[in-house]
């Protein structure tokens, strides 16, 4: 687009709002958010500013209002939002401590939340309604009608291209995750055709642009049919419980008896509940746990004159024996469920089970860990899911 000097001021305003809107996406200056928790931190900060009123807030007040999140994380996100202009000083002067928040970033957060839930279909319906009102206005010009047709053509071309690519290159599970692109497609096409009819009746000279819109709508409809056909073909044979729509599973659970419901999980293996770690936390733990060097140094060897200390293997053996005897408490056997319950929480129970497993596998220890097919489920217990089994002494 050819810009003129008269457009410079308007473009600068648009750029300023654009930066404010996308500030909520920045993890650091110039980067993107990779952890969804950061969006929650941004929203908490902006919520705090909304409650603060016209007096604004300092960084310390913001961290206190957002104390549900780590202090350092709130300070870092506050600084990122400030660098992008979403948060500015209350008065532009040195040593000013109080800040105010802009309106645009919170609107963008609301938009992102709705997009994540509705997949953008609600916004697309609203866009089509606005386009229909725009071209129906008696004051609308031919240029405005052409611009409306071109916008809708690009939208439906992008939708059709994305669905076609997903059908041809993606797995069924990936296609199911993006199935919201096909939701409400008949209504979308009807609304776009309504805009097409209005424009073609008012400005017949735009028939070429209207033809491009009809082609884009046809390509989108074909892509939707291919995607729906592939999902229907695979939905009846897959064991992936997330492939079918939520409404189907709700109807199934409400109208089925206990045996039918249990049959859905037949053949699936469940273990005791594990702590919930985010992928980012797991990745950080793996990266920090890697060895810094590959060379291995030989351990020091004792001289012949000195008495050799007890080996590490012997120490580990005695430690495992002591833990096994503590769990058995003089008995010949003990239930794994009672061991888990006595631990109180899963983190402690996991450590105890690891040591009992090590004692079971040790060649020099007379202990055995035997698992059974049953499972204890008690929502009131510290570890609700516990596989039944027995830890016992054996004679070798």
pLDDT tops 50 at residue 239: no
87 DSSP β-pair partners: 101
Q: Identify the weakest region by mean pLDDT among 127-136, 207-216, 247-256.
A: 247-256
Q: Identify the weakest region by mean pLDDT among 43-47, 200-204, 229-233, 358-362.
A: 229-233
376 DSSP β-pair partners: 386
Distance, CA of 121 to chain centre? 20
Rounded to whole angstroms, how far apart are CA atoms 351 and 343? 9
pLDDT score for 189: 87
As a whole number, the mean pLDDT across the chain is 78
Q: Identify the weakest region by mean pLDDT among 7-21, 290-304, 319-333, 381-395.
A: 290-304
C-beta of residue 26 within 8 angstroms of C-beta of residue 84: yes
pLDDT score for 117: 58
Return the closest-CA partner of residue 223 out of 169, 149, 147, 173: 169
More confident residue, 66 or 18: 66
> pLDDT grade, residue 149 (50/70/90)?
very high
Rounded to whole angstroms, how far apart are CA atoms 264 and 269? 12
pLDDT tops 70 at residue 167: yes
Residues 6 or more apart in contact with residue 189 via CB below 8 angstroms: 217, 220, 221
pLDDT tops 70 at residue 169: yes
- Is the pTM value of this prediction over 0.75? no
Residue 209 DSSP SS3: helix
> pLDDT grade, residue 235 (50/70/90)?
low
More confident residue, 306 or 44: 44
pLDDT tops 60 at residue 176: yes
Rounded to whole angstroms, how far apart are CA atoms 78 and 66? 11
Interval 320-359: pLDDT, tens = 888 888 988 888 889 988 888 888 888 888 888 888 888 8
pLDDT tops 70 at residue 374: yes
pLDDT score for 124: 76
Rounded to whole angstroms, how far apart are CA atoms 156 and 134? 19
pLDDT tops 50 at residue 308: no
Return the closest-CA partner of residue 195 out of 224, 156, 161: 156
Distance, CA of 54 to chain centre? 35
Label each residue of 297-324 as H, E or C: CCCCCCCCCCCCCCCHHHHHHHHHHHHH
pLDDT tops 90 at residue 197: yes
> In percent, how much of the chain has pLDDT > 70?
69
Rounded to whole angstroms, how far apart are CA atoms 358 and 327? 14
pLDDT tops 50 at residue 296: yes
pLDDT score for 196: 92
pLDDT tops 80 at residue 22: no
pLDDT tops 60 at residue 3: no
What backbone torsions phi and psi does residue 149 show, to the nearest 5 degrees? -65, -40
pLDDT score for 1: 43
Average pLDDT of span 283-296: 64
Q: Identify the weakest region by mean pLDDT among 79-83, 104-108, 136-140.
A: 104-108
Residue 175 DSSP SS3: helix
Q: Are strands 333-335 and 99-101 parallel, antiparallel or unpaired?
A: unpaired
C-beta of residue 152 within 8 angstroms of C-beta of residue 191: no
């Amino acid at each position: 687009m050819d810009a003129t000097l008269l457009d410079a001021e308007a473009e600068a305003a648009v750029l300023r709002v654009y930066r404010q809107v996308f500030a909520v996406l920045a993890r650091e200056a110039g980067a993107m958010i990779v952890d969804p928790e950061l969006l929650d931190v941004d929203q908490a900060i902006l919520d705090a500013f909304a409650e603060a009123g016209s007096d604004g807030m300092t960084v310390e007040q913001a961290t206190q209002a957002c104390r549900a999140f780590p202090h350092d994380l709130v300070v870092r996100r506050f600084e990122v939002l400030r660098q992008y202009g979403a948060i500015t000083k209350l008065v532009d002067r040195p040593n000013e401590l109080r800040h105010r928040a802009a309106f645009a970033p919170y609107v963008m957060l609301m938009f992102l939340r709705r997009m994540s839930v509705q997949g953008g279909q609600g916004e697309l319906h609203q866009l089509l309604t606005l386009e229909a009102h725009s071209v129906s206005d008696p004051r609308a010009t031919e240029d405005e009608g052409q611009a409306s047709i071109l916008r809708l053509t690009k939208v439906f071309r992008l939708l059709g291209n994305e669905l076609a690519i997903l059908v041809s290159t993606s797995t069924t599970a990936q296609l199911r995750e993006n199935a919201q692109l096909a939701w409400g497609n008949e209504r979308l096409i009807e609304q776009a055709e309504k805009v097409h009819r209005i424009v073609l009746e008012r400005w017949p000279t735009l028939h070429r642009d209207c033809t491009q819109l009809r082609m884009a709508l046809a390509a989108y409809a074909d892509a939707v049919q291919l995607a729906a056909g592939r999902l229907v073909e695979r939905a009846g044979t897959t064991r992936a419980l997330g492939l079918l729509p939520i409404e189907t599973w709700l109807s199934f659970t409400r109208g089925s008896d206990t045996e039918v419901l249990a049959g859905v999980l037949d053949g699936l293996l469940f273990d005791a509940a594990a702590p919930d770690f985010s992928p980012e936390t797991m990745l950080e733990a793996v990266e920090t746990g890697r060895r810094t060097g590959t060379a291995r140094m030989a351990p020091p060897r004792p001289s012949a004159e000195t008495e050799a200390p007890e080996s590490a293997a012997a120490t580990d053996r005695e430690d495992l024996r002591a833990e096994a005897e503590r769990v058995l408490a003089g008995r010949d056997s003990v239930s794994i469920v009672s061991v888990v319950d006595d631990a109180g929480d899963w983190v402690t129970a996991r450590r105890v089970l690891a040591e009992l497993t090590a004692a079971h596998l040790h060649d020099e220890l007379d202990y055995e860990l035997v698992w059974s097919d049953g499972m204890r489920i008690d929502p009131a217990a510290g570890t609700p899911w516990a596989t039944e089994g027995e830890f016992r002494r054996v004679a070798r």
